[in-house]
Chains A and B, each alone.
Chain A
Amino acid sequence: MPTPRRALLVLLLLLLLAAASLLAALLAGSYAVAPGVVFDALLGNGSGVGAEVVVNLRLPRALGAFACGGLLALAGALMQVLLWNPLADPYVLGISGGAGVGALAAMLLGLPLIFIHGGAFAGALAAMLLVFGLARGDNSWTQARLLLTGVIVAAGCGAAVALILSVAPEQKLHGMLFWLMGDAGQIVSPWPPLAVLAAGLVAALPFAREMNLLARGETLAATLGVAVPRLRAVLYVLASLLTAAAVTSAGSIGFIGLVVPHLMRLLLGTDQRLLLPAAAIAGGILLPLADTLARTVVAPQQLPVGVLTALIGVPAFLFLLTRQPRASA
């Protein structure tokens, strides 16, 4: 169990790693930029094509990937407590499905980029409110009911996405598939997701100790004075908004939200006071790295980063699962 001092040390270390990850994202790419040019560009006195590439292309994309990775990992950690299931991920309740329907519908209609983002956000919110309303119907808020409702809504969204894909003209399919797999290339500005990430952490941390108790069971939490229904509502709304912000920015990037909280739990233990900020930063470390790989592996062609996170995430997760069979279940 961490002490405040140890928690701070761990977080500082993770922040250093995050800085290294962002630096790697700025240095690597199909257009070669010398490290000196990168540093000059960061300090604001660079010029030329190299500096342009770093400041206008790579920096926003790296920061955006940091924010989305953090959002997904934090949302996953919250969702795992909410559903009392270490294998839950931010998409299990249909948020990404709703966003997918909204974004693809906008693409099908040939609307400009801003409407694609708007459609994704509207779809995510609609799915969130639908699941919230249906699962709360009898005011019982049981995990099973919430999970079932979310899974069914997600299945419905999946069907709608498949319908759009099947009627879409061929030249639009490529963009739609990239959106569905998640692609940091669509991040317009890193600031909205960064702001949501900061706000989400600030909103979640006061509830961290109550989440520790909820993770140990709702009866125990209620016994020790946690207002369980209120805490569940907070978790649900927070996790949903964080997920919506992430998928709106970069599409539904998989596995970060499932694997990162799990990895942090194995490394650092289950105390949410450390786990939540650690997962947020670790997600921000991994996604820029994965995106850098996605940009460079088969350069000049770019892969959607969601493919890489899944390709890395699946074996990593299976490895963790076989190595610590009882820790997670």
Chain B
Amino acid sequence: MLTTAALDVSIGSVDVCRRLDLSLARGESLAILGRNGAGKSTLLATLAGLRPAQGGRIAIAGIELPARDGRALAAQRGYLAQQQHDAFATEVLEAVLAGRHPHLSRWEWESAGDRRIAEQALATVGLAGVGSRPLHTLSGGERQRVALATLLAQQPGLYLLDEPLTHLDLNHQIATLEILAGLVRDGAAVVAVLHDPSLALRYFARALLLFGSGESLAGPAPEVLTAANLSRLYGHPLRRFDGAGHPVFIPE
């Protein structure tokens, strides 16, 4: 679904990654972790085709980036931005229906089927019945979930999510991660920038650590997400506890 070859990404004076080779198939998930400013969001936006890479190549479902046909690419890959902005008042359902854009031709209007998909997506994120409310009357966490519903309505094969858990309460954090796990089970590929190594280990099969110096480490999550690696990643000693079923990392 997603392959990179010898990918170089940098922003300002920060080398995000050098000669990164990644390959993510359908049904696989990858968590990206790193310190603030290491370039996690930059890498994700580059993988989404929203900014150019400094070298190497990226292909999504066989489409080489930069894609000539933006709509064809958008039918294959979805991207959840870190923050949602709105200048104009919009209804929630209208906002979610935006996700159907890549599937509609220029003169087509959203069909009853598109509406069903959007309403289903709202129900999936626990916002059934708010479709007719103005978007700006929702809380930050609810808007984050509307953005996730928009992404679900887009129905891409590859999901790229930049800190999907921001603004969310604990219960909604877990609910969101369960939704992502369900997508992976259904055959999608999911890449997410996360801050919590414990949740990354619990929900993602693979992990990519960005050290902020161009150095990166990728592999199966249990091999990459060790106390030693994470201590070096965050520049602070972390200890692993294997208590209640899921291992957790706690800063010392």
Interface residues of A (CB under 8 A from B): 1, 3-4, 84-86, 206, 209-210, 212-213, 215-217, 219-220, 222-227, 265, 269-271, 273, 326-328
| A222 and B79 alpha carbons, distance in the complex (Å) | 10
| A52 and B230 alpha carbons, distance in the complex (Å) | 88
Q: A219-B50, A220-B81 are in contact. Are A213 and B98 (CB under 8 A)?
A: yes
Select which of A4, A212, A222 is within 8 A of B98 by beta carbon: A212
Task: Using A85-B87, A224-B154, A226-B101 as known contacts, list a sample of 15 further A-B pairs with CB atoms less than 8 Å apart, ordered by residue number in A.
Answer: A1-B94, A84-B87, A206-B106, A213-B101, A215-B87, A217-B81, A223-B50, A223-B74, A225-B74, A225-B75, A225-B102, A270-B88, A270-B89, A273-B109, A327-B89
Q: Which residue of B lies closest to A223 (CB)?
A: B79
Residues of A within 8 A of B87 (CB): 84-86, 215, 217
Q: A84-B87, A216-B86 are in contact. Are A222 and B70 (CB under 8 A)?
A: yes
Q: A225-B71, A327-B134 are in contact. Are A1 and B91 (CB under 8 A)?
A: yes
Q: Which residue of B lies closest to A207 (CB)?
A: B106
Q: Which residue of A lies closest to B134 (CB)?
A: A327
Q: Determine if B104 is an interface residue (Cβ-Cβ < 8 Å).
A: yes
| A86 and B87 alpha carbons, distance in the complex (Å) | 7
In the complex, per-residue mask of B71-101: 1 if CB is within 8 Å of any chain A CB, else 0: 1111100110100111111110111011101
Contact B70 A226 (CB under 8 A): yes
Contact A270 B90 (CB under 8 A): yes
Q: A223-B74, A223-B79, A224-B74 are in contact. Are A217 and B85 (CB under 8 A)?
A: yes
Nearest chain A CB to B122's CB is how many angstroms away? 14
Contact B88 A215 (CB under 8 A): yes
Contact A4 B90 (CB under 8 A): no
Nearest chain A CB to B251's CB is how many angstroms away? 32
| A269 and B95 alpha carbons, distance in the complex (Å) | 12
| A225 and B150 alpha carbons, distance in the complex (Å) | 14
Nearest chain A CB to B108's CB is how many angstroms away? 9
Interface residues of B (CB under 8 A from A): 48, 50, 69-75, 78-79, 81, 84-91, 93-95, 97-99, 101-102, 104, 106-107, 109-110, 134, 136-137, 150, 154
Q: Which residue of A lies closest to B82 (CB)?
A: A219
Residues of A within 8 A of B94 (CB): 1, 269-271
Nearest chain A CB to B123's CB is how many angstroms away? 18
Residues of B within 8 A of A269 (CB): 91, 94
Nearest chain B CB to A6's CB is how many angstroms away? 11
| A210 and B109 alpha carbons, distance in the complex (Å) | 12
A-B contact pairs, 19 of them (CB 8 A): A1-B91, A84-B87, A209-B106, A215-B88, A216-B86, A216-B88, A216-B98, A217-B85, A217-B86, A219-B81, A223-B50, A223-B79, A223-B81, A224-B74, A225-B101, A225-B102, A226-B70, A227-B70, A265-B89
Contact B101 A224 (CB under 8 A): yes
Contact B89 A224 (CB under 8 A): no
Residues of B within 8 A of A328 (CB): 89
Q: A1-B93, A227-B70, A269-B94 are in contact. Are A209 and B99 (CB under 8 A)?
A: no
| A328 and B136 alpha carbons, distance in the complex (Å) | 10
| A238 and B102 alpha carbons, distance in the complex (Å) | 24
Nearest chain B CB to A222's CB is how many angstroms away? 6
| A212 and B87 alpha carbons, distance in the complex (Å) | 11
| A215 and B87 alpha carbons, distance in the complex (Å) | 7
Contact A224 B86 (CB under 8 A): no
Residues of A within 8 A of B73 (CB): 225
Q: Which residue of B lies closest to A273 (CB)?
A: B109
Q: Which residue of B lies closest to A209 (CB)?
A: B101
